[in-house]
Structure 1
């Protein structure tokens, strides 16, 4: 007997429930049916067998109902009330009644839709304070549920590669019919390339506790601001979808916010989380994991379209979503495969090399320092001190032109390998900066100017310190005023590719500002969409 279909029909009727019902709403995914009754919600797992889960045995549905309740209590309170049996006796079904259990449901307190993150965003009710609270909650959550040896294995490079290939394999049957095969192939190739180039970073993540027992399905529709922050509907049916890098978990929410038209909110969330979690490395991975998550949503929609009998209007809406998710995945893929030319510039003793070396460490890319390149060009060792007047000897205009030409050539060689690169030099005039801009344009890469700033007193103190300590740079206190007079402000550099950092702040704060998504090119595109996308909703 097919009890489930009969139960689904009964749950549409208010009289079936053992409590008052104000209104019944039904929602459906490819794996569950949800009935909202006003005060309570009942969620029943469909008797389906898909490649990534098997809910056909009743015992499994019962088990995963309990798993769902237990796991979701980690990020919510007073929402998941328990698991109720739906019994059958003498030809009648009842919730928590007499007879043999023939189905199980997760019973929840119904949350007000007006308090969901997505509804509040569309009504303009979400501010930076609430996003900071959410970021802090998530950072604390990942710290409280750290990985063990079993969990960490799910974040290994080999596992990530296998998951990506599995996802692409599962999507291949939908090619042409549901999405563009050319875009699919570009994303596939970009993913493989990124995984090869960034293998050391994935290893670093597993060795430094970044793989956790996460949420697995972190989306704006699963987050509510009601009696604090409530996050519901985590993945319970398959551990490997929940055990992941915290950056992957957060990327799902960031991608969802992008999809809904709120990239600035997504950027602020990532910035704040990275700061709370002390995790600057995640900036390198965010676009990669956003792409992966957008592809997951594409696949889920394709499955939903394939396995569910739905009306034409809903089918058309799902098809539009598939197109939008694929477009997002394509944009992310272009971003994480496109190299960036980082130009770290500023006055002598402004902290350029310290910033450059830290960026090099975090991003795992090469840095070329003008001081080293200059001395190598003229056959000198790095710490050979050249006590020459300003703009004389190896610092003459001709020698500087050779040095900057060599810097750009070295940068071009890295870019041609598909790698990002950092140039650490003063770049004191518009001509030098113009040559860097031209290189970026000719090679079609991103370019970001990081201008290092410090007070006159601090810069002079750093220069004085060079008298007694080893220094690759030959700039000294006596050159300072001449450097200052010759340094041309970066007025010609557009704000969107110009980041100023005060190196009087901590190195951590400087790097956080540089890597913040608000300052990255990928978040500059389409920010106009983020001005209160309200749609036709009653707020």
Structure 2
């Protein structure tokens, strides 16, 4: 993304603007701790309790800020869009004027504007999630709050109109090829061509999935630049800012492409457990498990985009090789991550098994984070059926519908290469049989995590859960009694698939098991 040179006369006014904005007298309020932060497209002036973001008068291959009118329009669009997620941060657009006699710069002054700025509330840089991640201050509660926020935002975001090609295969291919061209031109690494080739292969294979995502209303007006450096904690609430306002094509995207940026960024930061906590919470909140089909591709695309930005930075620093080395090394890591995301295939299915209150969901959540697995919970999916009351959700037909949904979700996940956790009681032999048959059909292995507790412990846990009302499970003591009376214990052959209770890692054990043979669990060739 090489910058195009502007007419020479623009350099002098820009220098005057920068010098003036760094004077406390330019502001009508106290401007203590006056600083300037420079980005690829903007100058951000930190002045007292406020920040002022001014566009650079640049013309790039993807944006044109060379005119005053264009910069004003973009400032206004930035405020409009960012107020969706950060209304308290974005205070409005203010003019910047210059005294004709003295040349002094005034922010929000009188007279003819020479430029415009987005006025924001200033926040502490150490509260940005990237800084918290680097310092080890990012925790599970941050991921939960962030996943809920993003899922709710996506649920209400405007949907792409039928006449636009946003999210369609041709549009996705253009974005890929634009990025690939820059990476190939700037990189001397064989890894670049390898990553691009893999993405092209997956783009071809996923064309029907992209079309389906558009048909099912998942192409929406998203944030577009949702990474750790663009989210700050304000009063313990994650607050995304600095959305991608200047490009419709890069903002009207698949909601999973939006989420994939954060998922990729956490992986790139070495925070694998938090990455899977985020994506599992997002999927649980949104119900968009169909997005698993495109998640590896979109996360790999995000890694390629970041590699391009880093390579551009290294190219600009070629005159200082010692400074160019760091972004070039990081770009190589991003290209490696892009390939890893597309090549992962340790797909398998782990069935949680046990009575209500036996600790299944707690262990499933721990395994999902520790080993990078996708979990789907019957307690959550049962409630999506929207029965009038909890009792109706436990009728035989409702239970059957829930297990069928779990199976459908597991199929999407394993086809995308993910190890899946089906978190349900699996007390009925025919429900376990269903998953063994399907696993054999899909060519993946099955493990069983058998969770056991004595009846008094089960009752105590259920009572405590009902008092707090914080758990998705609606199983009460009557449900527990019914489970105890009707449960069908694991058979001898099924027990051959049980993971040892004290195992710290289950994926190696599940993956090493023999592919499930339906004959060995007494199901013959019956269909599920």
Structure 2 distance, partners of 1:25, 1:230, is 22
Count residues with an aligned counterpart. 402
Q: Which of 1-10 and 108-117 deviates more?
A: 1-10
- Alignment match, 1:451: 448
1:52 Cα shift? 1.1
- 3-state SS, counterpart of residue 265 of structure 1: helix
Match of 1:299 in 2: 308
Which segments of 5 or more consecutive residues in structure 1 lack a partner in the other structure? Answer: 367-403, 408-420, 426-435, 437-446, 464-479, 501-539
| Residues 100-179 of structure 1: pairs in structure 2 closer than 5 A | 100-149=112-161, 153-176=165-188
For residues 59 and 309 of structure 1, the distance between their equivalents in structure 2, rounded to whole angstroms, comes to: 34
Among 218, 236, 240, the alignment partner of 1:210 is 218
Q: Check if 1:267 corresponds to 2:276.
A: yes
Residue pair 2:313, 2:324 contacting (<8 A) in 1 also:
no
Bigger shift: residues 285-294 or 239-248: 285-294
Whether contact under 8 Å (1:448, 1:498) holds in the other structure is no
Change (3 A) 1:284 1:323: same
| Cα shift at 1:300 | 1.9
1:236 aligns with 2:245: yes
Whether the 8 Å CA contact 1:345–1:424 is kept in 2: the answer is no
Q: Distance in 1 between matches of 2:97 and 2:166?
A: 39
- SS class of match (2:45): strand
Post-superposition offset of 1:448: 5.1
Pick the aligned partner of 2:209 from 174, 198, 201.
201
- Larger deviation: 299-308 or 76-85? 299-308
Larger deviation, residues 248-257 vs 127-136: 127-136
**Cα distance in 1 for residues equivalent to 2:81 and 2:268:** 27
Deviations 1:423-463 (A, max 9, x none): 159xxxxxxxxxx8xxxxxxxxxx65343879999799699
**In the TM superposition, what is the alpha-carbon distance from 1:273 to its structure 2 partner?**
0.3
Which SS does the other structure have where 1:192 is aligned?
helix
CA distance in 1, matches of 2:289, 2:48: 43
Q: In the alignment, is residue 281 of structure 1 matched against residue 290 of structure 2?
A: yes
1:255 equivalent among 264, 277, 281: 264
- Structure 1 residue 362 displacement after superposition: 2.8
Q: Deviations over 1:251-303 (max 9, x none)?
A: 11121122222121111010000100001122232221111111111222333
Distance in 1 separating the partners of 2:82 and 2:163: 18
CA pair 233-355 structure 1, distance change in 2 beyond 3 A: closer
TM-score, normalised via structure 2 length: 0.67
Equivalent residue number for residue 374 of structure 1: none
1:84 aligns with 2:94: yes
Is 2:50 aligned against 1:40? yes
Q: Counterparts of 1:115 and 1:341 in 2: how far apart (Å)?
A: 37
Question: Quick one: which of 81, 85, 90 aligns to 1:75?
Answer: 85
CA distance in 2, matches of 1:133, 1:8: 38
Any idea what SS the aligned residue of 1:256 has? Answer: helix
Match of 1:495 in 2: 506
How does 1:366-405 map onto structure 2 within 5 Å?
A: none
Note the residue ranges of structure 2 that are not aligned, 5 or more in a row: 1-8, 354-398, 417-435, 453-480, 512-528
In the other structure, the counterpart of 1:362 is 412
**Mapped partners of 1:272, 1:205: distance in 2:** 20
- The answer to whether the 8 Å contact 2:130/2:229 transfers is yes
Query: Cα distance, 1:306 vs. partner?
Result: 4.0
**C-alpha distance in structure 2 between counterparts of 1:24 and 1:12, whole Å:** 7
State how far apart, in whole Å, the 1-side matches of 2:80 and 2:163 are.
Answer: 18
CA distance in 1, matches of 2:494, 2:305: 54
Deviation of 1:245 (Å): 0.7
* Correspondence for 1:423: 440
Distance 1:152 1:253 in 2: 26
Question: Match for 1:324 among 330, 333, 336?
Answer: 333
1:455-505, Cα deviation, whole Å (9 max, x unpaired): 999799699xxxxxxxxxxxxxxxx99x537843545896124579xxxxx
Report how far residue 106 of structure 1 moved: 1.1
- Three-state SS of the structure 2 residue aligned to 1:56 is coil
Corresponding residue for residue 200 of structure 2: 192
Max radius of gyration: which structure? 1
Contact 1:30 1:304 in 2 (8 A): no
Among 38, 43, 54, the residue aligned to 2:64: 54
Secondary structure class of the residue paired with 2:182: helix
Which is bigger in relative contact order (C-alpha 8 A, separation at least 6)? 1
